Chains A and B, each alone.
Chain A
Amino acid sequence: QVQLQESGPGLVKPSQTLSLTCTVSGGSITSGDYYWSWIRQPPGKGLEWIGYTYYTGNTFYNPSLMSRVAISVDTSKNHFSLKLSFVTAADTAVYFCARVPPKDSYAEFDYWGPGTLVTVSS
């Protein structure tokens, strides 16, 4: 069974770049036509889709974050990564990575990592 695990700094200073990695185990990131996604949840609030990537590097982003987000994949390490630049306190959230099964829509998430809290503060 596939498992996902987020990792990265828990504290980022304002205006800097948030960087997280999601390591996939129990299956190859290159198999099955899956997309691999990042989703975040500010404390006490709802879920927000950030974007997703295919193992070839094909990416799609939330239009509201597109100017600051980059998602990349490293097939040799079986992981994918998130970079969010020019962060502010509003970017403080639990960040989840998730798998997106191959459908016509790519808008459902069947496996999730446990999430990692990133706080933006000086």
Chain B
Amino acid sequence: QSALTQPASVAGSPGQSITISCTGTSSDVGSYKFVSWYQQHPGKAPKLMIYEVSKRPSGVSNRFSGSKSGNTASLTISGLQAEDEADYYCCSYAGRSTLVVFGGGTKLTVL
């Protein structure tokens, strides 16, 4: 069982927007700005898409955005494209004892 809770799957049609939630606790997501999101295509390494809740690395499309409210972080993908179909993982700093926790992952299907 993963420390952060994500929906197992979400789906959307091309051009639509979807949001993936990532629910933690006051010991991780709720207490720190260090939430990141990763995109993983089958057989590939994860790719950093969002860091520090809402910042995008250079080269990542501005269709990807992140936010946080309380113990829940969210990744929103707007203008869905076929290439966005992948697994998405959230990750959070969890304090000096646990340090790093991941979500269980969400499979995004573009219909």
Interface residues of A (CB under 8 A from B): 46-49, 60, 62-63, 96, 103-110, 112-115
Contact = CB atoms under 8 A, between A and B. Distances in A.
A112 to B, nearest CB: 4
Contact of B92 (A103, A107, A112): A107
Contact of A96 (B45, B57, B91): B45
Given A47-B89, A104-B34, A109-B91, 20 more contacts: A46-B2, A46-B103, A47-B91, A47-B102, A48-B102, A49-B99, A49-B101, A62-B100, A103-B52, A106-B99, A107-B34, A107-B36, A107-B91, A108-B36, A108-B48, A108-B51, A109-B38, A109-B48, A110-B51, A114-B45
A99 B36 CA distance: 14
A105 B34 contact: yes
Given A47-B102, A48-B102, A107-B91, A114 B44 contact: yes
B104 interface: yes
B34 to A, nearest CB: 4
Contacts of B93: 105-107
A49 B100 CA distance: 7
A37 to B, nearest CB: 8
Contact of B99 (A96, A107, A112, A113): A107
A115 B102 contact: no
Given A108-B91, A112-B45, A47 B105 contact: yes
B21 to A, nearest CB: 15
Size bracket, chain B contacts: 20 to 34
Interface of B: 2, 32, 34, 36, 38, 44-48, 51-52, 57, 89, 91-94, 97-105
Nearest to A111: B48
A115 B47 CA distance: 12
A62 B92 CA distance: 13
Contacts of A48: 102
A86 B93 CA distance: 28
Contacts of B89: 46-47
Interface centre among B32, B46, B99, B100 (most CB of A within 10 A): B100
